[in-house]
Amino acid sequence: MPKQNFALPTHQNNPNKKVAYINARLFDAESGLDAKGALLTIGDSIADFGPQLFNDGVPEGIEIVDCKGHLLTPGLLDIQVHFREPGQEYKETIATGSKSAASGGVTTVACMPNTKPVIDDIALVAFIHKRARETGYVNVRTYGAITKGQKGETITEMGLMVEAGAVGFTDDGLPVMHSGVMRKAFSYARELGVPIAQHAEDLGLSCGTCMNEGKISAQLGVAGVPNAAEAIIVERDILLAELTGAQYHVLHISTAEAIDAVRRAKKKGLNVTAEAAPHHFTLTDEAVLEYRTFSKMNPPLRADKDRLAVIEGLRDGTIDAIATDHAPHDQESKRVPLASAAYGIVGLETMLPLSLGLYHKGIMPLRDIMAAMTYKPADIIHVPAGRMKKGARADLTLINLDVEWTLDPKQFNSKSLNSPFDDWTTKGRAIRTVVGGDTVFWLA
C-alpha cells in the first residue's frame, strides 16, 4: 500500500510559484479535451496547458511533476457532505473531512447545514468558512438551512446568508413538508440566483421505517419506506419550481419514479437537476443482509430496478451529478440494532473508484462520468470550478485509471469508518490532489 502524504494549502503565500505537470493525459470533460500534454500553474491559477507546452523542455526555476501518463483533470467536486462541525466533532471535523476529500481527489465540497446548531444564520456560515481557511485541505463551501432550526416553519434570512457565501439552501436530513413554506423558499431563492436542494421524503410514509420496503424488509421483519415517499415530494417540488421559476435540485435521488419525474421536468425545460450517490448505483437493499447497519442510509438502498434506473439516469443526463452524501458516524451510532442505528456511510474516499467502475465495466464513457464529478456539480451550486482553462483556479486531480486496489476503511482519513465497501477490489484512484496550485495529497 503506497504511503498517503498530506500538506495544508498555503493560501497563495507564494503567488509566483510555478509548477509544470508534464507527461500528462490532459482530460477536461466540459470541452472534450483528451490529449497528451503538459499544464503550468502560476500561484493559484492555471497559466497554460496543451499538447505543445514544454515540448522543448521545462525552463529552470519551475517545479516539475511528472504525471507518467496518468489522467490530469479539473479537481473533483462533492456537493453533498456532512462534516459534523459544529456540534458533533467526535464524528468528523472540517479538518478530517477535508483530508478525506483530498485523498479521494475531491478539491471542493459543499457541506450540509444539519449541524448542531443548524447553519441557519450568517454567523454560522462565516464560522464554516473561517474553520475551512484554518484547517481545511480543500475548498469548503456550505449550504444554509431553508428554515430556522430545520423545523420546517420559518424561512431563514436567505439573502444575508448568500452574501456571507452560502451556495444554496436545504434542510437536508429532513424534507420541507409544508408546501407554502417551500413555495416561499423557491421564490426567495429565485431572486437570489441559488438552488433549493431537497431531501425528498414524505414523512407520513417513512415514519417508523429503517430501510427500503420490499422482500428484504419483509424477510427481516422491519418496516420499510416505499418508493412513493420520495417520488411524491419530488413531484410536488417540481410543480412549485415551475410555479416560481426557481432552480430545484434533488439530493441523493434513488427511485425510478423520482428519476422519471426529473426526466419529464427537464423535457419541459424546467430548471431542475439531480444528483446520485455511488452507493445507490452500486448496491441494493440486499446489502443490508450482509452489512446490516453499515448499509443503513437515507434514502435507503433500493431494489435492483431502482439501481439500474439511477445508472440510466446518469447515462441519459437526467441525473446531473455524482455526490456522496458523506455521512460519518461513530461506532456507537452504528453497532446497534438496525432500527436504532444512525443513517449514512462515509463516501469521499470511495466516490472516484466506485464511479470509475461504470467506466471499467463499459457502462458509461469516461467523459460522462468525469462530467458528473467536475463541471456539472460546479454549475449546480454556481461556483467557478470543474473546468480546465487558462486563468481558472488551479484545482486539479491526477488519477491512475488502471491501478487495482482494495478499499480498507481502516486506512480512510475520515474520523469515522462506517462503510459497507470494506475489502472491495476497485480499479482507479486519485494519486495527487492540487488545491489552488498547492499539492495537498499525494501517494508515494
Catalytically annotated residues = 325
C-alpha angle 334-337-340 in degrees, rounded to nearest 5 = 70
Q: What is the length of the chain?
A: 444
Question: Cβ of 181: how many Cβ atoms within 10 Å?
Answer: 18
Grid cell, residue 282, equals 452500486
**In whole angstroms, what is the distance from residue 267 CA to residue 53 CA?**
42
Grid cell, residue 325, equals 452524501
Question: In the 8-state DSSP scheme, what is residue 147?
Answer: B
C-beta of residue 387 within 8 angstroms of C-beta of residue 375? yes
Comparing CA positions, the residue from 342, 335, 276, 334 lying closest to residue 309 is 276
Q: What is the DSSP string of 193-262?
A: T--EEE----HHHHTT--EESSHHHHHHT--EE-THHHHHHHHHHHHHHHHHT--EEETT---HHHHHHH
Q: Give the three-state DSSP class for 122.
A: helix
Residue identified by cell 446568508 is 161
Question: In the 8-state DSSP scheme, what is residue 378?
Answer: H
Residue 224 has phi, psi (to 5 degrees) of: -120, 155
AA letter at 185: A
Comparing CA positions, the residue from 376, 300, 387 lying closest to residue 345 is 300
**In whole angstroms, what is the distance from residue 403 CA to residue 100 CA?**
20
Of all helices (H) and strands (E), which one includes residue 135?
helix 122-135
Comparing CA positions, the residue from 269, 273, 236 lying closest to residue 381 is 273
Grid cell, residue 380, equals 449546480
**In whole angstroms, what is the distance from residue 291 CA to residue 425 CA?**
16
Please name the residues in contact with 316: beta carbons below 8 A apart, sequence gap of 6 or more: 263
